[in-house]
Amino acid sequence: MGFILMYDITNEESFAAVQDWSTQIKTYSWDNAQVLLVGNKCDMDDERVVASERGRQLSEHLGFEFFEASAKDNINVKQTFERLVDIICEKMSESLDAADPAVTGAKQGPQLTEQPTAPHQDCAC
């Protein structure tokens, strides 16, 4: 499961809300949910009120990857979604590897064969 947490770089209130949104994701989603923090409207740098460094610092604090993008000008939109898919796939692969008995050292059950084995001759039935 993945989330893109997006704030508006020209709006301080949307940036301030990221902490609350992050808490809600951590509270109501799966433990292994992957999240990207994205500052949108990077095409409007002259109206910026949230510095890139603040977004980067917050993403590091929250344990998220960080991007800046512009949905309007299609800047980093594809890259953001592709990265989210990549990290979701990486985590799924890690989960599958962890569940693999060869990796975890778990004992495997009896091997099934197509032909039933013959009954023991020394049976007193």
Are the C-beta atoms of 69 and 40 separated by less than 8 Å? yes
pLDDT in tens, 91-114: 888 877 776 555 555 555 566 666
- Going along the chain from its start, the domains and CATH numbers come out as 2-95 (3.40.50.300)
Angle, nearest 10°, between helix axes 18-28 and 52-62? 20
Are the C-beta atoms of 9 and 68 separated by less than 8 Å? yes
Residue 58, pLDDT > 70, answer: yes
Looking at residue 69, its pLDDT comes to: 98
**Global confidence as pTM:** 0.73
How many Å apart are CA 94 and CA 71, to the nearest integer?
A: 32
Strand partners, 36: 4, 65
Looking at residue 94, its pLDDT comes to: 82
Looking at residue 114, its pLDDT comes to: 67
Looking at residue 107, its pLDDT comes to: 57
**Owner of token pair 């000008």:** 73
